[in-house]
Structure 1
Amino acid sequence: MKGSVMDALDVLNQEHRHIQRVLVVLDRAVAKGRDGEFVSASLFLRAANFFLTFVDGSHHAKEMVLFQTMVAHRLPLAPGLLAQVSGEHGTGSEHAVAMLCAAEAMLRGGETDPARMLDAADDWLRLYRGHTAVEEAQVFPMARRLLPAGILDRMRTRFARIEASHGSLADAADAMERAFTPPPAGRLFPRGPVCSF
């Protein structure tokens, strides 16, 4: 990194740190729920929307730019590695939708047991932590070593366009932390995937 200018890999690593802040908030809520304490379904709904909009829609879109660039430059990746991390993006979306639907059912009064919502959140937390570890231990270091600086700069420009269409992931993570200390009152019913109950 030259001065304060971040390249594409710096952006991805920084976004992982912001996402982890949201995971901490969600993990605490899951632990409370497992202990039988009240947990706000609106937190889980907002977390699911954060994952779908900012993690899946923005962060993973940027990672796909990286993966495509690595393939185009024939980097010596372990067989199946990119297929694994790309597949985990889809699985993460499924877990986020499951959490969103379970939270909506709780908020609408169609469900009183938070188990389905907590299970979906746990699935997402487990998947994302393993996913991030693989990327930071294997994918990003190889890209750092083998991709030319000019390529990383061009990717950063593409990242800026992706972020412009979704908004700032960092700002969204800040809002999640602020909104749920303490948990808010009320219900949220954002637009999103249609759920079957």
Structure 2
Amino acid sequence: QKEKFMRATDILSEEHRVILKVLECMDAIAEEAERTGKLNKDAATAAVDFFRNFADGCHHAKEEDRLFVVMQENGIPREGGPIGVMLMEHDDGRHLVRNMAQSLEKAGEGDKEAIASFARNARDFKALLTAHIQKEDQVLFPMAGQVLNDTTAETLLADFKRIEAEAGGKRHAEYLEVARKLCEAYDIPFLNSDQIPTITAEFNPN
């Protein structure tokens, strides 16, 4: 049971590592825009797309649609506990990503107000998600490990694989490549396969 559960949460924790790398890139994109007076629209658009479709559409979907549901079914309340906080922070993050998306066009043209808005929202998003990831890795996932039984843990891992298969099975490969290119463009060291072994084994992104 523990192995199955650990494999399921390892997928989420490894996705966290990829997300943290793109948050570093987003910070660098914002700093560059403030310094040069123009947003790198292509890089910023790629990062926003990553957060919408990988961090939210791929990663948060597995948490909200499966992990959190299973935790509630096993006695951890949605309201007044860590699940409620995580859901609220997911929504806060979506709001900040929407704000960044709305600034892209004008910031790419050098509009100072749009650049300031993009940079502010990017930094708020980085701070929010960095703390959020730490809470999940250090508090929420261990809590889930205490309450899930053998069958539930095995089903959770199978559900994660099914979610990815239904999405075409290529999201990890595609978005790891996006993350890798952003890191390369902003001179940020990317992850090697030893740092994301479960994703590499389960979804074969390389």
TM-score normalised by L of structure 1: 0.79
Q: Deviations over 1:84-123 (max 9, x none)?
A: 110111111111111111112333x383541111112112
Partner of 1:44: 44
Partner of 2:107: 106
Partner of 1:195: none
Partner of 2:26: 26
Whether 1:181 and 2:184 are equivalent positions in the alignment is yes
1:79–1:53 Cα change, 3 Å: same
Residue 162 of structure 1: how far off its partner (Å)? 2.1
More divergent stretch after superposition (60-69 vs 30-39):
30-39
Partner of 1:169: 172
Any stretches of 5+ residues in structure 2 without a counterpart? 187-206
Partner of 2:133: 132
Partner of 1:122: 123
CA distance in 1, matches of 2:125, 2:58: 17
**Contact 1:22 1:47 (8 Å CA) reproduced:** yes
Partner of 1:97: 98
Partner of 1:72: 73
Partner of 1:147: 148
CA-based RMSD of the aligned residues comes to 2.7
Residue 158 of structure 1: how far off its partner (Å)? 1.4
* Secondary structure of the structure 2 residue equivalent to 1:9: helix
Question: Could you tell me which amino acid in structure 1 is paired with residue 137 of structure 2?
Answer: E
1:29–1:8 Cα change, 3 Å: same
1:144–1:171 Cα change, 3 Å: farther
Residue 6 of structure 1: how far off its partner (Å)? 6.3
Residue 39 of structure 1: how far off its partner (Å)? 4.2
Q: Deviations over 1:137-181 (max 9, x none)?
A: 211011122212331221122112222316423640332331563
CA distance in 1, matches of 2:99, 2:155: 36
**Contact 1:44 1:103 (8 Å CA) reproduced:** yes
Residue correspondences, number: 181
CA distance in 2, matches of 1:35, 1:21: 21
1:32–1:149 Cα change, 3 Å: farther
**Structure number with higher helix proportion:** 2
**Contact 2:8 2:156 (8 Å CA) reproduced:** yes
